[in-house]
Structure 1
Amino acid sequence: MFPSTDRAAVNADALAARTRSMAHRLLSGAGSASLLAYRLSPDEFTASIAHGLTRSGQFVVAGRPDPSDPVTTVDAGEPIDVRVDLLKESPDPAVRLVAATVHALGVLRWLAPGEARRLYAWGELPREVADLVEDGRGRLGVIDIERVVLRDSLGVTPMDFEDLVGTIVNDRPQAFPGADDEWNAYDLVASVSETHLAEMCRSVDTGAIPGAICWRRPTMHTCDHTLGHVFLADIDSTGVTLMSVREDETLAAFAAFRRPATTLDDLAVQVSCLIEDSVPDSSPRL
């Protein structure tokens, strides 16, 4: 069980950790990114880009120059005011849910090819960004950001970029699950019986396990394939977020892990602990 008997304190710590972890994951490359150069081209989004954080904590994007998109063809070093939108959807293929979004205003500067090659050679770039820079045809840009706003199932949370990323760089934690692990993480949690997932939701709702009910609302206009089922909205190093569609109400519940998961093996252990804590008389089944 959790070491603290103060459930309110445990819940507060778990939710704060989840918020920071979610923002970390999106900034590190999870989900999809789009840019809006609201002064240069206010009616066009630049969407075909990779994004992530360098090892030193810079937010970077990469894409191929497109003559029809003026943002991608601006000269290296020229500042471009942009809005950054990052969107993370649920990994569950049975439903379409937005797990979280991050929004920020910043200044984009494309780097000269030589600078981009140096960062690539030094191993500074996240993998998907590096893949676009590797062949020399992609452009690498750095976006200076001061604040980010996370929107998720718990609400809206503004965060200082330097504070968030500085902690990440100093502690060197890896965002989990990363792009390489996300589908394996989904398969692992999805292999848990739906009965156990429903028990997790109920246990969060009754306060039997740490976490929070993110939202609840009356069930209306449901499809047959959703009624009575539990869907996986998100997997994080700090816990899992589930959506339970009942006949009378639909709710989203965040069930917190005992300890952060940083690998798939960790995830398997923590999910087993959730099953044990929410259904004490059952043996964990993954």
Structure 2
Amino acid sequence: MIRLDDLGLFVRTAALGSFSNAAREADLLPGQASAAVARLEAELGVRLFARSTRSLRLTPEGQSYLPYAREVLAALREGRERLVEDSGALQGSLRIAAPSDLGRNVLLPWLSDFRRQHPHLDLHLHFSDQVADVFRDPVDVAIRLGAVSDASFVALPLVPGNRRVLVASPSYLKRRGAPASLEDLPNHDCLSWMMKGNAYDKWSFPVDDGCQVVQVSPVLVCDDADVVRRLAIEGHGIAYKSWLDVRADIASGRLAQVLAGQLGELAPLHFICPHRQQFSPAIRRLHAALRERFDEIVAVDGPGHY
């Protein structure tokens, strides 16, 4: 008889390409994941993976069987979630990935409230500027800034009109003065974070005839965008940040908007899931809760940056 745990480990091993990674995700030893797949292979009478000391890949039989395994697990999950939905209480766990700055400073208190409203639901939070792969990484939901070009997953808008803005601390502007135009930016101390492994140093701005890209030479670069925001507050230079990340700092006077009349690049915020079959009751309620919160922010701030 096929064990459901073995089936799940087969699916995750195929996604992660490693027994070790699949075992680590399930809090097992690597040998236990390999043994689980071996049991499944024995039950089916076929080899699902071609193994070597350096690689692990699906056999043709494994590739054929994988969609059926996923469908079985999805059907069982859907049945369990329907029972939970009928009972009215959210249970289980929800794994959420979000950008560092937005996650820590905007989403965290909202997610804490959501957890208090649903005490039987466990939240696993991953705040990082490394873009989560919703198919390979152990993530149920990804909150993501920027345009979505991949049509293989479902992206629901949270704040479709969010834009980036140039910001600096009052102390920096007093010391160095404010740039008079976009062309002045390369002459200023600029702060940047890593985007897809590279420093985000080509800042794009919409203009009447299309788009103007300004190449800056950052004096400080960090792989954590929240750190860049803090460096800007401390007066180290000018940052080009999502309005959602810095709106509270601007309202408090910790940061001031630079070139306020210049429209910033669109940075729409999306709620992303691998596919609609994974829209569990917990995910649907989380999306509704976040959408309500962001709608309140847009209503307060007005149309200037959205």
Task: Provide TM-score, normalisation by structure 2.
Answer: 0.24
Indicate the structure whose relative CO is greater, using CA pairs within 8 Å and at least 6 residues apart.
Answer: 2
Please, what TM-score do these two structures have when normalized by structure 1?
A: 0.26
Structure (1/2) with the larger strand percentage:
1
More helix by share: 2
Rg larger for: 2
